[in-house]
Every structure is written in C-alpha cells, then in structure tokens.
Copies of this chain bind each other. A is one copy, B any other.
Amino acid sequence: MGKAWTPTSAADGVEQALKILEGKWKLVILFHLFGGNLLRFSELERAIPAITQKMLIQQLRQMESDGVVRRIVHHQVPPKVEYGLTDWGQALCPALDALLKWADLRQERRSGD
C-alpha cells in the first residue's frame, strides 16, 4: 500500500502474475466464469465453440493449480463437474470488468469512426 510506484519494480511482480493469464484461452474462460458463474465442462465447451476439449481441460487444470479456478465434482452416475472461480480468482473481477469496459469503448470507436 505504501509502496513507491516504479514501473520496473511493479512490472517485476506483474510479469509473474501475467504468466498465469498467458495463453490464448485463459482470459476467455475467466470471462465466462465471471460473476461467480458455475459452469459445467460441456457448458464451457458450448460457450466457447472455437476451443477444443484438450485446450479447455488443459487451461482449466493450469488455472486450477494456479489457484484461480476451482473444480467442484458431484459424484453422480452421469459425472458432473462444475468450474468456478476461487476467492483469489474473484479478485480478478475488477480487472475483468475494466477490460470489459475497454472492449466496449472499442465497439463505440469502430461504429463512430
């Protein structure tokens, strides 16, 4: 809180955190889990048609081990697994929200131009 802002010191810590979000799909997935949404594997698949099963499970697993995503297993005869954000993942919401607003600005920009 009382830290002096220098681009280099900040970027140092940030670069580590950014690696967690690196990859083509991480942020896209997070946006779908945004707002406390619990989604099943198949729901995520349908929500992101362009992703393959392999990439979906791979990215989910990575984010899980990074502590961003949590996996909720319901032991049922037809297996049911839901994915959601951890508390720390929820802490990303302000950032995701700001990104969302920024994306909207782009839309206006393009239609207004």
Interface residues in chain A, defined as those with a beta carbon under 8 Å from any beta carbon in chain B: 5, 7-8, 10-11, 13-18, 22, 24, 27-28, 31-32, 34-35, 37, 47-48, 67, 88, 91-92, 94-95, 97-107, 109
Task: Verify B11–A28 contact, CB threshold 8 A.
Answer: yes
Nearest Cβ in chain B — how far from A99, in angstroms? 5
Task: Verify B15–A28 contact, CB threshold 8 A.
Answer: yes
Complex Cα spacing A95 to B92, Å: 10
Residue from A8, A16, A18, A37 with most neighbouring chain B CB atoms (10 Å):
A18
Residues of B close to A48: CB separation below 8 A: 11
Complex Cα spacing A5 to B93, Å: 14
